[in-house]
A and B are shown apart, each in its own frame.
Chain A
Amino acid sequence: MAAFISRRLISMLITLALVSVVGFIVINLPPGSYLDVYRAQLMVLGTSTADQQIKALEQRYALDRPLYYQYFKWITGFVRGDFGRSFQYNREVSELVWARIGFTVVVSLCSLIFSWAVAIPIGIYSATHKYSGADNLFTFLSFIGLSIPSFLIALVLMVISSRVFGVSVGGLFSRAYEHAPWSWAKFVDFLQHLWIPVVVVGLADTAGLVRVMRGNLSDILSMQYVQTARAKGLPERVVIYKHAVRNALHPLIMNLGMSLPGIISGSTVVSIVLSLPTCGPLYFNALRSQDMFLAGTFLVFMAIMLVIGNFLADIALALVDPRIRYE
């Protein structure tokens, strides 16, 4: 197991290094970067401090040096928590991202848990009651769930809640608690707001998971060891939950690596409509105004979340399925 983990750890570190290269390329991609604009602005002002500020900027990002040197400078800063400066907000990127990344992780994790908690029971029911009325209904619903853009679900939910209940549902906090320190009341308020993004983001993933779970379980239910379990007189409940469902969960854990990108993507788009304090709104804003250090940092962090998530999923899979370790 230790060998397996260290092997995966090394490959994860290589992936992370490559991810950071892509992140740096993305930062440098726009032809006229915000830094150029900023420099031009300062040039126009033409004061003596402007010259110094430009010098300082050039030195900080090593703009007069070749690209690989710039990358090296950026990545060593990145590891130490210096992500560069946001020109739009005129603040350090590190001041802007941490809280938002925290909320993004919370929303993503809760969506993941929600989608599993809903999808597995439905998948089990569908596989054990194949082609029944409820199964057909679930199949149809999961197709629809796969076909609706998540931001559209968010919009419709918001419209319904403000028309029917008369409450607006944006954000993660009520206005009263937005800047309040954490307390029990704020936590309750947070939970009251959290469920909408969690349901919306989780829904598309749920639809996919139901189909995977139904397929797996119905394959396994036709296996001979299930037949044997039935033949030796085990109660149906034990046959299904102890013998079949356990094995049907493996591909689902493998599928975790597949569903994470969707959840992180989904949460970024949904968060714009729901105006959540997560990565999404700031990220797309930064892209539109070419505030590339901010955008690049978010992109790299989203990839890091994904890579770590996949790593954990691999370890979980190796724990439940010993065959994986010896591959």
Chain B
Amino acid sequence: MADIAVNLEPSPQVPIDQDRSSLTQWQLTWRRFLRNRLAVAGGIILIIFYVVMVIFPGFFSPYSHVVQREDFMSAPPQLPRWVDENGTFHWRPFVYGFTTELDMEKFEWVHTIDTSQKYPIYFIVRGELYRLLGFIPCEIHIFGVEPPGTFFLFGTDELGRDLFSRILHGGQVSLTVGLVGVILTIILGSVMGTISGYYGGIIDNLIQRLVELLMSFPDIPLWAALSAALPPEWSPAKRFFAISAILSLRNWTGLARQVRAKILAYREEDYALAAQAMGASDRRIILVHLLPNAASHIIVVATLSIPGMILAETALSFLGLGIQPPVVSWGVLLQHAQEVAVVLDRPWLLLPGVFVVLAVLSFNFLGDGLRDAADPYSN
């Protein structure tokens, strides 16, 4: 027998990541999440959106969103500039004023940018009174120009209201509708899904038929029918919550199905059977053993259902069946841009749509990133 020279290669050292081995499940998820750049970017944009629009819209907008200005109806956007008409550079940005003249053919006021009037932009200025957080009277705004100058970053609507301020205040409503709706969705969806999956039998059957029934209506027409039935005399706040509730009324079905599938699978796992054998109550098994396992899944499905709600609110309000003026939401603002002739004339009225797309895109990226991070077996 010939000698066999066995060349034993040293097995590659598997580095033991001391740091990593002591991380909890959530910390690992967080690490995986941070690696997804788009998801992180989406998260950051959303944090900015919620801080600027939901918490401090009054501070970040230069004007009140309801004050009408007869002299500045349908004024075009005034963009901040650093270089003036002579090519001189200014450290402090400024805006040009308007000259307004009457167009005798169309019989409307036409505003044109007038380079002879220059208004420097100041930061942290006093302006119109608003209520910080809804109850503290305050008149400090983050930026503005001194009167008689005006600074309409996104132009004004046909009543002379500052569109930028209106977009921020509209965001407050549009972004919270999704959030309130999703909380209701999570509650309804996980309760119904858990009951359905855990108890099975006739209750399961009934809930599944209900889900099928709700799913056999196209969403926006059903939402429209329900919100059309809201009494017109309801206060804006009541209407707002009613619309969030209506949105989640159909939306919980998707989540309930997913939770049911998860609970069905987990119910048969050894640890659930063990808990049952030890005499744990149903409540304990569900709350301690089953739901925490499904939690990451619920969060992901919920995050991914927020964009649908924002889009739905926008569509409903756009059709005049959702949030009603004088309350503003992005959909309400887009109502002004319903006709092509108007958009051709004043294209800046489409800007609220850009914010809708940004918010929805960010939620989609965030939800996608969360899903990949929460599921170690994906990819």
Contact = CB atoms under 8 A, between A and B. Distances in A.
Interface of A: 14-15, 18-19, 22, 26, 29-31, 143-144, 146-149, 151-152, 155-156, 158-159, 162-163, 168, 170, 260-262, 264-266, 268-269, 272-273, 283-284, 287-288, 290, 295-296, 298-299, 302-303, 306-307, 310
A226 to B, nearest CB: 18
Contacts of A170: 340
Given A19-B213, A303-B217, A152 B353 contact: yes
Given A152-B334, A261-B219, A290 B228 contact: yes
B228 A288 contact: yes
B114 interface: no
29 contacts: A15-B212, A15-B213, A19-B217, A22-B217, A29-B229, A30-B229, A147-B357, A147-B364, A149-B314, A149-B356, A151-B318, A152-B356, A155-B343, A155-B350, A156-B350, A158-B340, A159-B347, A261-B215, A261-B218, A261-B219, A264-B218, A265-B219, A268-B220, A283-B224, A284-B321, A288-B321, A299-B222, A299-B225, A302-B217
A147 B224 CA distance: 21
Given A18-B213, A149-B315, A162-B340, A29 B225 contact: yes
Contact of B321 (A31, A144, A287, A302): A287
Contacts of A155: 337-338, 340, 343, 350, 353
B331 to A, nearest CB: 9
B213 A295 contact: no
B224 A287 contact: yes
B255 to A, nearest CB: 14
B360 interface: yes
The listed residue with most A CB atoms (<10 A of its CB), out of B315, B318, B357, is: B315
Interface centre among B216, B219, B226, B343 (most CB of A within 10 A): B216
Interface string B311-326: 1001100111100000
Nearest to A16: B216
Lowest 8 A-B CB distances belong to which pairs?
A29-B229, A265-B220, A287-B228, A147-B360, A264-B218, A147-B361, A265-B218, A261-B218
Given A158-B340, A272-B319, 6 more contacts: A26-B229, A29-B225, A149-B356, A155-B343, A170-B340, A288-B228
A137 B139 CA distance: 46
Contact of B216 (A143, A295, A306): A306
A261 B307 CA distance: 16
Interface of B: 209, 212-213, 215-222, 224-226, 228-229, 231, 307, 311, 314-315, 318-321, 334, 337-338, 340, 343-344, 347, 350, 353, 356-357, 360-361, 364-365
Main secondary structure of the interface of A (DSSP, over half): helix
Contacts of B361: 143-144, 147
Contacts, number: 124
Contacts of A265: 218-221
Contacts of B338: 155, 273
Nearest to A152: B353
A295 B344 CA distance: 33
Nearest to B213: A18
A149 B226 CA distance: 21
Contacts of A295: 225, 228
A262 B226 CA distance: 18
A287 B225 contact: yes
A158 B339 CA distance: 10
Nearest to A18: B213
A156 B209 CA distance: 40
A268 B319 CA distance: 11
A149 B311 contact: yes
Nearest to B334: A152
A143 B365 contact: yes
Nearest to A274: B340
Given A15-B213, A29-B225, A168-B340, A269 B231 contact: no
Given A163-B344, A261-B219, A149 B353 contact: yes
B78 to A, nearest CB: 22
Contacts of A261: 215, 217-219
A168 B344 CA distance: 12
Given A284-B224, A287-B228, A288-B228, A303 B340 contact: no
A306 B213 CA distance: 11
Contacts of A298: 221
A31 B231 contact: yes
A162 B361 CA distance: 28
Nearest to B222: A299
